[in-house]
Amino acid sequence: INFIFQDMGIMDIYHYLIDEISDPRVSDWPLMSNPFGVILISLAYLSFVLYLGPLYMKKRKPYALIKTMICYNIFVATASAIIFYGLLTSGYTTHLSMGCEPFVISNDSMSLSMARWVWWVLILKITELADTVIFIFRKKYNQISFLHVYHHTVTLFLAWITCKYAPGGMWTFIMMPNCIVHVIMYIYYLCACLGPKMQKIVAPWKKYVTRLQLIHTDIWNSAFRVICSYTRTSLWLQRSCNSITGFSRGIEKFRKRCLQNHMCSRRISIRFAFERNSEGQGDGWMKARSTVFN
């Protein structure tokens, strides 16, 4: 990377990353000509989650939003299933394997179809930011962890990077298990919205949904195994973001395991949640703190 950027100015680097090494087929698509659209969306999301949303809900009662959640969960589950089918039938049922498939820029119908479905993955990731928005309006602040916000923000950029630089080959395989997991997750969330009776029925399945998410993470990590050589220069960002995500999930799992099993004499709990401030700052004040206790 240092060798590539040597003796290049800021605008030269920008032109190199955005124009020279990107996929020219997607450059005219919505949100794909430059990263500013996705950056603005993520900044708007973070601004709402960290400040504007809690400020709006400060003196208001939580909204129920039952019908909204039912419609939203049906939409995301259905969209995830459709995108899975689109990705699968755009090469994996014919000539693509699930191994180290190189990315090749081609204008044949199958390759263009794959690129279009990758773009729809990006749109779906933008839609899924509504998860946190719903939590805000329902004042479910305990569900808005640091990892939750981090995950939604990073996956949005990962989807954009993939669509911009490599909407094909092995970089699309990891999207398929993600779609399947999301189908199952949002069907579970849908059932949980349908009243106390249904909640009791699906409650025993919660642990299996969690395990499925962890298995999906392992599949994600395996897709980036070192024996696969990167076919696009800029995709080292994918690997870096993926490593950070895995590390963060590992910390979160370790913390929860320590708290549940009482096996750690000293535990570090990193909390990133909305809670009432004893000094009178209100329900919506965001506090990020680290507590060490015995």
Confidence of residue 242 (pLDDT cuts 50, 70, 90): low
Phi/psi region, residue 7 (left: phi>0; alpha: psi -120 to 50; beta: rest), is left
Q: What local confidence, expressed as pLDDT, does residue 257 receive?
A: 54
Q: What is the pLDDT of residues 222-233, one digit of tens each?
A: 655 544 555 554
DSSP 53-76: HHHHHTTSPPP--HHHHHHHHHHH
Confidence of residue 291 (pLDDT cuts 50, 70, 90): very low
Confidence of residue 277 (pLDDT cuts 50, 70, 90): very low
Q: What is the pLDDT of residues 23-39, one digit of tens each?
A: 999 999 999 999 999 99
Mean pLDDT of the chain, nearest integer:
78
Beta-bridge partner residues of 144: none
Average of pLDDT values for 233-261?
53
Least confident of 55-69, 132-146, 208-222, 255-269: 255-269
Q: Choose among 35, 25, 252: nearest CA to 159.
A: 35
Q: Residues 15, 95, 148, 151: which is the catalytic one?
A: 151
42, two tokens: 């993520």
Q: What is the pLDDT of residues 103-140, one digit of tens each?
A: 888 899 999 999 999 999 999 999 999 999 999 999 99
Q: Say how far apart CA 155 and CA 42 lie, in whole Å.
A: 11
Is residue 181 within 8 Å of 208, Cβ to Cβ?
no
More confident call, 247 vs 8: 8
Q: Say how far apart CA 187 and CA 78 lie, in whole Å.
A: 9
Confidence of residue 221 (pLDDT cuts 50, 70, 90): low
Confidence of residue 259 (pLDDT cuts 50, 70, 90): low
Q: Say how far apart CA 286 and CA 276 lie, in whole Å.
A: 9
Residue 269 pLDDT more than 50? no
**Catalytic residue at 148?**
no
Confidence of residue 256 (pLDDT cuts 50, 70, 90): low
Q: What is the pLDDT of residues 172-214, one digit of tens each?
A: 888 888 899 999 999 999 998 988 888 888 888 888 887 787 7
